[in-house]
Amino acid sequence: MRLSLSSKIVLWVTTALTLAFIYVPILVVVLNSFSTSRTLSWPPPGLTTEWWGKALTNAGALTAISTSLVVAAVSTVIALLLGTALSFALHRFDFFGKSTVNLLVVLPIALPGIVTGIALNNAFRTMLDMQLGWFTIIVAHATFCVVTVFNNVFARLRRVGTSLEEASSDLGAGIWTTFRLVTFPQIRSALFAGGLLSFALSFDEIIVTTFTAGSGVQTLPIFILDNMFRPNQAPIVAVVAVVMILIAIVPIYLAQRLTATDDR
């Protein structure tokens, strides 16, 4: 489109400002984790790595990190199994209620987190009389992680089609052999990408987690939330926040690269 120079400049400037708006807060957290100020006043009066040392030996923070890693890993495994089965069912078959099933997968992340959270909290505590803890967190996380695996695998199945599988069974391979040698290699990277995204989603999740964690188990986001309002912990929270960005960003980056190289 032909734009006048002045409107081009205006667009350039607003784009740059918007990007700054998006990235400055994240950079502020990173800088704060090195700040010598306990109250996180700006600009940082000086830089130190003291908080990093303290945070990385803080028992609560370390336990929270390992809790989050375990929860994310287990929920991802469940989500991989359920999401893959669902994507095959919805891609390969036409059946009554197909669109309802499709909606059902998306619902746990389409509805506001607080509705999902309180619904599960109510179901576990009131209806089933269960103690909140590891089990309830993992069940909740797996439920909303299914959709990320489903989306990735379904998109892949749609792209690769079924002709190679048909060729395989025409040549006499059974269902298992075809799956092992033809289907699985085709969807492997989609599974990996979906799994990584689901891992990151679970690792970050806070709203549903606060409703399903109870008081005994502390995931990393809950650790941050609990300590955020304690004045003395501010710098340690800043460090843990940076760690959290790093742990979440790495799988996302890998997943993006994986799908990008496949799509080429």
Which window, 53-61, 152-160, 165-173, 185-193, contacts another protein (CB under 8 A)? 165-173
Smallest gap from residue 152 Cβ to another protein (A) = 14
CA distances in angstroms from 163 to 160, 168, 174, listed in the order given: 8, 9, 15
| Residue 160 binds another protein, judged by CB under 8 A | no
Phi/psi region, residue 111 (left: phi>0; alpha: psi -120 to 50; beta: rest), is beta
Name the residue nearer to another protein (CB basis): 73 or 225. Answer: 225
Smallest gap from residue 33 Cβ to another protein (A) = 11
| Residue 107 binds another protein, judged by CB under 8 A | yes
Q: Restricting to residues 168-207, name those near another protein by CB under 8 A.
A: 169, 171-177, 180-181, 200, 204, 206-207
The binding track of 48-77 with respect to another protein, each residue x by CB under 8 A or -, is ------------------------------
| Residue 214 binds another protein, judged by CB under 8 A | no
Q: Is 91 exposed, middle or buried (0-12, 13-18, 19+ CB in 10 A)?
A: middle
**Which stretches of 150-258 are assigned E, i.e. beta strand?**
none
- What type of residue is 251? P
Helix (H, G, I), strand (E, B) or coil at 35: strand
For residues 188 and 196, is the Cβ–Cβ distance under 8 A? no
| Residue 89 binds another protein, judged by CB under 8 A | yes
Smallest gap from residue 164 Cβ to another protein (A) = 16
| Residue 161 binds another protein, judged by CB under 8 A | no
Smallest gap from residue 133 Cβ to another protein (A) = 16
In sign, the C-alpha dihedral spanning 98, 112, 219, 197 is: positive
| Residue 9 binds another protein, judged by CB under 8 A | no
How far apart, in whole angstroms, are the C-alpha atoms of residue 228 and residue 53? 19
